[in-house]
């Protein structure tokens, strides 16, 4: 890379583009091991005018039923994303930020000492973003955060198709008001999602209750492959407005050990990425990625996988805009 590309108009070495970048869609060279770690080095900003996607964290894990720590997920995902910002995106071969204006909006403020305020705080945070016609890419946090996020999105877009990558169905009967294994049953009961156009992918835990959402379980994926699984996803969702939720435990624990409720027998990282890269036809209105628990991670492999999934989702959104 030439020295010219490493310098700005004042001949200063460019660092900390997370807050120094003037043009929010422009990238410049930065040491991957230093500087402010916004997601993909995007500019930290609360200004949403002209923004296509706002990246935001919801650092909450008080609804977990097993291992804690995913309140630290948003920070870890941001940190692991910096290498992805250094080159044109693979396998797309372009800079997604030439086609989409993406900012890092920072984290949702939560008063964890008042748990009764959590749902409202997440809902209000999301509503303030999507009411400006900006799409959200949200990092958890545990999976409970999807419920207030869905409420905010459904208020704007109406009942949504849910595309859920997960090892758990999360449609068990609630054991209390804040539970990360029950929120999609609540979402069905509240009419936030349309079960006839929703689909869950990768499940490998049992629930006697059938709420009407189509299921592609892990054995189907292993036996029939990604292509046939994607065909079922596209057929089910069709042209409807879709909200995607990606629980990192969709991956096998060998590829994502840093999560709260790991389940053996899942997919490899490359398979997860091939799923995401095949979904450009879907009309996404938002996405969340949840359950990354850095205290249980090794060599950042879980947070790197999460960052790449989110990066590739941005890329398919940019590719659609580009075309």
CB 118, CB 37: distance < 8 Å: no
- Residue 134 resides in a domain: yes
- pLDDT per position as a tens digit, 6-37: 444 444 556 788 877 776 667 777 888 888 88
Per-residue tokens: 209: 């209750």
- pLDDT per position as a tens digit, 246-260: 999 999 999 999 999
The CATH number of whichever domain residue 281 belongs to comes to: 3.40.800.10
- Residue 236 resides in a domain: yes
- Residue 83 resides in a domain: yes
| Whole-number pLDDT of residue 25 | 64
- Residue 202 resides in a domain: yes
Of 58, 86, 94, nearest in space to 73 by CA: 58
| 29/161 Cα distance (integer angstroms) | 39
> If you write DSSP's letter for every residue of 201-225 in order, what string do you get?
EEE-S--S---S-EEEEHHHHHHHH
User: What domain range is 252 assigned to?
Assistant: 4-27+37-322
| Whole-number pLDDT of residue 283 | 98
Domain total in the chain:
1
pLDDT of 87 > 90? The answer is no
Task: Tell me, yes or no, if the pTM score tops 0.85.
Answer: yes
pLDDT band, residue 68 (cuts 50/70/90) = very high
CA terminus-to-terminus distance, the chain: 29
- Residue 32 resides in a domain: no
- pLDDT per position as a tens digit, 179-226: 888 999 999 999 999 999 999 999 999 999 999 999 999 999 999 999
| 99 CB neighbour count, 10 Å cutoff | 19
Section 67-77 average pLDDT:
97
CA distances from 314 to 256, 259, 279 (A): 21, 23, 11
- Residue 239 resides in a domain: yes
Helix ranges, the chain (H): 17-20, 73-80, 118-130, 146-157, 183-189, 218-237, 269-277, 301-322
Of 39, 32, 56, 65, nearest in space to 293 by CA: 65
CA distances from 119 to 63, 152, 157, 262, 293 (A): 11, 11, 19, 25, 21
- Residue 233 resides in a domain: yes
| Whole-number pLDDT of residue 24 | 61
- pLDDT per position as a tens digit, 124-143: 999 999 999 999 999 999 99
- Residue 307 resides in a domain: yes
| Whole-number pLDDT of residue 80 | 96
């Amino acid at each position: 890379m030439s020295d010219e590309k490493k310098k700005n108009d004042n001949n200063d070495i460019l660092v900390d583009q997370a807050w120094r970048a003037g043009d929010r869609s422009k990238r410049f060279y930065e040491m991957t091991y230093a500087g402010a770690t916004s997601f993909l080095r995007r500019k930290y900003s609360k200004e949403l005018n002209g923004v296509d996607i706002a990246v935001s964290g919801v650092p909450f894990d008080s609804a977990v039923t097993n291992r804690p720590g995913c309140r630290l997920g948003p920070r870890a995902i941001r940190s692991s994303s910096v290498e992805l910002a250094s080159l044109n995106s693979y396998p797309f071969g372009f800079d997604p930020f030439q086609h989409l204006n993406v900012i890092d909006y920072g984290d949702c403020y939560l008063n964890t000492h008042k748990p009764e305020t959590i749902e409202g705080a997440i809902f209000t945070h999301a509503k303030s973003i999507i009411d400006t016609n900006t799409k959200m890419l949200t990092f958890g946090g545990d999976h409970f955060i999807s419920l207030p996020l869905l409420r905010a999105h459904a208020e704007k877009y109406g009942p949504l198709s849910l595309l859920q990558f997960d090892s758990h169905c999360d449609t068990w009967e609630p054991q209390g008001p804040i539970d990360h294994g029950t929120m999609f049953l609540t979402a069905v009961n509240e009419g936030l999602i349309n079960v006839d156009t929703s689909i869950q992918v990768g499940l490998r835990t049992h629930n006697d209750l059938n709420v009407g959402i189509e299921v592609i379980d892990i054995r189907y994926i292993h036996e029939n492959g990604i292509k046939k699984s994607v065909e079922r996803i596209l057929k089910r969702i069709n042209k409807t407005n879709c909200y995607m939720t990606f629980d990192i435990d969709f991956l096998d624990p060998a590829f994502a050990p840093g999560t709260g409720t790991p389940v053996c027998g899942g997919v490899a990282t490359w398979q997860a990425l091939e799923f995401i890269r095949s979904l450009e036809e879907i009309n996404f209105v938002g996405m969340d990625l949840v359950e990354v628990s850095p205290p249980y991670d090794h060599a950042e492999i879980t947070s790197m996988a999460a960052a790449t999934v989110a990066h590739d989702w941005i890329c398919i959104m940019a590719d659609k805009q580009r075309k």
